[in-house]
Each structure stands twice: as C-alpha cells, then as structure tokens.
Structure 1
Amino acid sequence: MTSASEDHFRRASVPLVTPGDLRVILRTRDGVPIEALYEPCVKGPGDTVIVVAHGFTGSVDRPAVRRAAGVFAQRAAVVTFSFRGHGRSGGRSTVGDREVLDLAAAVEWARGLGHSRVVTVGFSMGGSVVLRHAALYGAAGGDAGLAGARTDAVAAVSAPARWYYRGTAPMRRLHWVVTRPLGRLVGRVGLRTRIHTEDWDPVPLSPVDAVPLIAPTPLLIVHGDRDPYFPLDHPRMLAAAAGPGAVELWVETGMGHAENAAEDALLARVGEWLMR
C-alpha cells in the first residue's frame, strides 16, 4: 500500500556523489516502497552522509525533520526518509519493528551514492530503530552479507529503553492510538500515520538489549530532562547496558521530546559528534 505514485520520484540508480538534491523511492528487503531525499552538504562534497530517522508520525517533509536536516547539512550530506506508514512511503507502521529494514535501505542507498562514511541519528521511535539497526547490522551483531547497510556511528535522541512502556500519560495515549481500532483511525486521519493492525510476532530485540551489541561502533545517547514521554531512567538504562567507555550520554537541561524539542544548537552538537 502506498499513498503516492512512484512516478513522482526517480528510482534509486545509485550515482556517485550527486551535486544536488535527489528524491527517490527505495525498496526495502521486504518490498515496501520508502520515499527518501538526499541533500548535499552546503559546504561542498565530503566523505560523510548523515541518515536521519524521524519519530512516530514524522516524515521527510515535516517541519521539524526539515529543520534538523538543514542543521546537519551545514556539516555533511544528509539523507532523510519516511518510515513505512508515514508520509508518501508505502506499508503500515509497525512502531519500531520492521522499520529497521527502512533504515537499512536508506543507509545502503546513502553508501551507494559514493560516501565512504555513513552515520545515523534517530529521534524517539527513530532512536529505537537506529539502536537496533546498529546492533543488527554492525560489527558485533551484523551479517557480513549486509555490510553495505551498516552505520559508522549512531546517535539516539529521546529513545525508549524498553518496549510497552506506559508510565507517562503521553505514552498511554500513544498505546491507545496504536492498539485500538478507533485509535488507529485517529492515527490515519489526524496524524497521517497508517498503523499495522497486528501485534508483534515475535517481539523484536528491545533497545536496551540491542545496545551491548553496538560496540565498537561509536554511540551517543541524548535525552531531555523534561521529556514527557520517557523519563531519565530510559537513557540511563541504555548507557548502563552499553558498558563503561562504550557510549556518551548527554542529559539536556530543559529539553522535551525528540526532534520537535531539539534546538538548533543541540542538533549542531550532535552533528559535530557524528563527524568525529
């Protein structure tokens, strides 16, 4: 299922580093069409491309995603994409499960564009996805046959540590949207997000269980101390799971949740960290 014709986009033909913006439809390994956008670094060609994984109900063209991409593009080329069930991508959202395949397709495409270094940053649901992706496709937990989809560094912003968390009012509302027929209708009509109707089977690797598999890939965890969705025990659990010296943890004073709350100065710092 897709909400837009693929005729509106060029197919991904993996040219070498492109001089301008390139909007394409990618195909995931399970056949879902995913819209993606490549933007070159404003300062000229470079080795690094930053792949941005948005939060639940986001998309390539949402203002917060475009703002983050603009900040990152001051330092590197940027790939943004819409997860399945979001924007003009096909399929339905599985809220962090099969979205790993969407990110893998975007990373593989970015690497094929001619950049020698591909890094990932994810927000909220996207944060959980970049952690699981780094574990599943990385040096410790990855498949050598999927090396083109690996990441060279990963930053997770406002990510949950564990699944099924209902400890805050916003998360209880989110679970209602995801699990109830009326909630999914609200998601489709009001939030422009198409949500899968089936439960996870099997339950995917949780973020906190994924983190120990990420090393030696550099890992950054960023979280706001005023996050209304996930309190500070989530980033602290993630950092503890990584082990000493395997992660940097930034707790941001006054910050709320995900890309909407991340100020340009913080995004710039994350971009600089990813470029190291």
Structure 2
Amino acid sequence: MSTRPAGDVARPTVGPHSETRRNAPLRTFLRTSDGVTIDSVYEPGAAVYDASRPPSGDLAFVVAHGFTGDVDRPHVRRVAEAFARYGAVVTFSFRGHGASGGRSTVGDREVLDLAAAVAWARELGHARVVTVGFSMGGSVVLRHAALYGPGREEPAQTHPAAVVSVSAPARWYYRGTAPMRRLHWLVTRPEGRLVGRYGLRTRIHHRDWDPVPLSPVEAVPRIAPTPLLIVHGDRDGYFPVDHPLMLAAAAGDHGELWLEPGMGHAEHAAAEELLARIGDWAAAQGG
C-alpha cells in the first residue's frame, strides 16, 4: 500500500464553487486519486472572524491532523481557529479517521488525502497554500512536499507554497518511548486495531507497508526550494529531540528549526502563542 502519486487531480464530489460561496464555510467530501472519500471543511478566515487581523486573501492553510484525530476533534478545531486569523483554512479527516472513507495506512497513502485538500484550496482561489501537519500529519506534509513540488510531474495545483511540520518523527518504526510502543501495538495487533476502530474512531489497515515509503528524513532534502519550518517540543513524549535535529540537519540551510522549551506533543501541546508565530511565519512566505 505504498503511495503512488497520480497525475489525475482529485476533485470535490460537489459542483464548482462560486465566489459567493467562497465567503461562507463549506463542508464536502473530496475524492482522492485512489478513490477514497475525505471529509473536508473550508473556512474563509479572519475577514469574518477577526477584523483586527485582516487576512491575506490569497493565503490558505491546509491542516493535517495527527493519528486518531479528525476534522471535528476540539484540538483540530482550535488550530483551525488560530490560523483563520491569517487566512482561509482547510481541515480534513485522513482516510480511516472520522467520517472519511478507507483505512489508515499511518502516513503512507495519506499523502494522497493531503494532495486532494491542497488542490481544493487552490480551486477555491488561493494562490498560496501552506500545509501544516502535526505528528503523523507532520510526516505527511514532509513527504507530500517532497513528492508534490516545483519540478515534479504532479499538477501545480497540488504543490504547497510552504510547509510546517510539528512534532513529526524523523524515521519509521521508532519504538524508543512508551507512547510509541503503545501505538505500534495499536497498529500491528488485531486487538489493537479493534481498540482503534471502536475506541478511537480510527480504522487501521491490517497490511504492512510494501514497499516502505520514503521516510521523513529522506524526504526533507527534496523539499527545497519550498520554504520549510520544523517545530518540536523539548518535552515531546513520543519523539525525543534527536528527531527534529535529524530533520533539521537533512534540511541544511534550507529549513528552519524551532525547538520549543517545555512543549509536549502535537496539537494538544501547541500553545496559542506558538500557533500565532506559525501563522506569522506562513503569512511572510512568498507564493
């Protein structure tokens, strides 16, 4: 179940959106290039919600949540609300999560879900689309930017203008912390997948990766010249600081690293002040 980017860009399952509809929140199911339906929400941004911080009309954030999240989880909605002060926001549930179709491949074919969401943001008129991923979503935005970027064969509407990866792993199969050992049990054991389905609203694919997808640290050097920001907490209970340091080293002069004092893991640990700084960084990037 390895990712094979396709030239055919996924489209929403609803009809074309007019400019008047762009000014109101939208919810629809996108269809990925491999046929999976992805529950997705578009919110127009601060022109509606916060007149004190006018957004850039061409800027949109596409938020890629962590494993077991979905578009309706409070921590995902909180992130969306923070970024809506800077531009439009697209949130979605990865395959196997929430109301989306399919089963989770824990970061492999999820790249196709993100590509569909980026294409939707561009279809709605946003020239600058910044992908922001957390944990599993952080690894997905890195791999997506490596596979869908300037000079790649994939259509330009799937390319991100900038990439922010928060609390991402650098390498696959990491089991060095207790939370990651529990996660591997959840993914690899039949009883774990039952807990995921009925306890966490996450349907996990039973097959192993074949072939193993490009790892985040292998993806990072391929992202240039797309602007890249790596964010990680120095108290992350899942992935210790050697992970962001590996990613930053792979990025070299091209990437920027923020190692956040006292921060834990992913969306739950991202303070409002940090989300505001990420929003400022994204708004400063060119198209």
Same fold (TM over 0.5): yes
Aligned to 1:220: 229
What is the aligned residue count? 265
1:138 maps to which residue?
149
Aligned equivalents of 1:51, 1:237: Cα separation in 2: 25
Please name the residue that 2:182 is paired with.
173
In 1, Cα distance between equivalents of 2:26 and 2:17:
10
For the 8 Å contact 1:12–1:26, the answer to whether it is kept is no
Deviations 1:142-194 (A, max 9, x none): 21x42110000000000000000000000000000000000000111111100
Which residue does the alignment assign to 1:257?
A: 265
Matches of 1:155 and 1:262, distance apart in 2: 13
Moved more, 175-184 or 36-45: 36-45
Match of 2:280 among 253, 272, 275: 272
From 13, 16, 27, give the equivalent of 2:16: 13
**By how many angstroms is 1:10 displaced?**
6.9
For 1:184, give the aligned amino acid: R
- Mapped to 2, the partners of 1:12 and 1:114 lie a distance apart of 15
Distance (whole Å) between structure 2 residues aligned to residue 12 and residue 150 of structure 1: 23
What secondary structure sits across from 2:90 in the alignment? strand
Any conservation in 2 of the 1:54–1:65 contact (CA below 8 Å)? yes
Q: How far does the alpha carbon of each residue in 1:9-47 deviate from its partner, in whole angstroms, 9 at most, with x for none? A: 972534447011000100000000001000011226711
The answer to whether the aligner puts 1:65 opposite 2:76 as a matched pair is yes
Three-state SS of the structure 2 residue aligned to 1:182 is helix
Amino acid at match of 1:121: V
**Where do residues 2-151 of structure 1 align in structure 2 (5 Å cutoff)?**
11=14, 13-16=16-19, 18-43=22-47, 46-140=57-151, 142-143=152-153, 145-151=154-160
Matched AA of 1:174: L
SS across alignment from 1:11 = coil
Q: 1:215-240 CA deviation, whole Å, 9 max, x = no partner?
A: 00000000000000000000000000
Q: 1:237 maps to which residue? A: 246
One-letter identity of the residue aligned with 1:19: N
**Cα displacement string for residues 79-98 of structure 1 (whole angstroms, at most 9, x for unaligned residues):** 00000000100000000000
**TM-score, with structure 2 as normaliser:** 0.90
- Structure 1, unaligned stretches of length 5 or more? 1-8
Matched, 1:153 2:162: yes
Between 119-128 and 12-21, the greater mean CA deviation after superposition: 12-21
Deviation at 1:117, TM superposition (A): 1.0
Task: After superposition, give the CA deviation of every residue in 1:99-126 in whole Å (9 maximum; x if it has no partner).
Answer: 0000000000100001111110000000
What secondary structure does 1:74 align onto? coil
Contact map agreement 2:217 2:246 (CA 8 A) in 1: yes
Are the counterparts in 2 of residues 12 and 25 from structure 1 also a CA contact under 8 Å? no
Q: What is the CA–CA distance in structure 1 between the aligned matches of 2:219 and 2:27, rounded to whole Å?
A: 31
- The amino acid that maps onto 1:167 is G
Please, which runs of 5 or more residues in structure 2 have no aligned partner? 1-11, 49-54
Which residue identity does 1:265 align to in structure 2? E
Map of 2:210 onto structure 1: 201
What residue is the counterpart of 1:5 in the other structure?
none
Contact 2:13 2:31 in 1 (8 A): no
